[in-house]
Amino acid sequence: MERELVEQAQRGDQEAFAALVELAADRLYSIAYRILRDPARADDALQNALIAMWQRLPELRDPDRFEAWTYRMIVRASYREAEQARGLQVRARRLGILSPREQAGPLDRIASRDELDRAFRELTPEHRAVIVLRHFVGLPIAAIAETLEIPVGTAASRLHYAARHLRAAFEAEAHGVVAWRHPA
């Protein structure tokens, strides 16, 4: 069914494309939101990814690879949104000062969640993407590499680095270590 819709959309059938969007939008938004951690930018990433999908769908050689291909499109769109956000933050921060992190609260799940959120925001978009594709979407390393069009070794390296960074934050929280917070 999906393959037929993809083939029809590749030939310019807008209704078929709309049906594909209906099937994919929730999944793609979920990924964008988790990479960007910002609903407004996730909105923009989804919108841009859907338009890019329409434009580039004829380039998809194997219609059965549509789902993986959509992951690539939403990750790319998320990268662009993250880049825009980073530019703004760098500019706004130029004259700024850093604030000490508030004292960590008691060891509970909320504290760990906050610490994960802080550590995740410190990662680059590329590292965030591998975490989301691995631990949220559930893709194996090889599929992540194919989706992101990077070597398997690079995907594994990014995943290792990102997981280590998050784990350190998680364990620091568990041991009551107080760090200094970087601006978001």
User: Which residues lie near another protein (CB under 8 A)?
Assistant: 12, 14, 17-18, 21, 25-26, 28-30, 33-34, 39-41, 43-44, 46-48, 50-51, 54-55, 58, 80, 84, 88-89, 91-99, 101, 109, 112-113, 116-118, 121, 131-132, 135-136, 163, 166-167, 170-171, 181-184
Cα–Cα distance, 59 to 62 (Å, whole number): 9
Pick 151 or 169: Cβ nearer another protein: 169
Dihedral class, residue 152 (left if φ above 0, else alpha if ψ from -120 to 50, else beta): alpha
Distances in Å between the alpha carbon of 36 and those of 18, 95, 178, 179? Answer: 25, 25, 25, 23
Comparing CB distances to another protein, the nearer of 151 and 177 is 177
Nearer residue to another protein within complex by CB, 136 or 151: 136
**In the complex, minimum distance from the CB of residue 58 to another protein, in angstroms, rounded to a whole number:** 6
Contact 41, 33 (CB under 8 A): no
Q: Kindly tell me which of 3 and 56 has the beta carbon lying closer to another protein.
A: 56
What's the distance, Cα to Cα, between the start and end of the chain in Å? 43
Least distance from C-beta 1 to another protein, angstroms? 20
Q: 70: closest CA among 43, 46, 87, 36?
A: 46
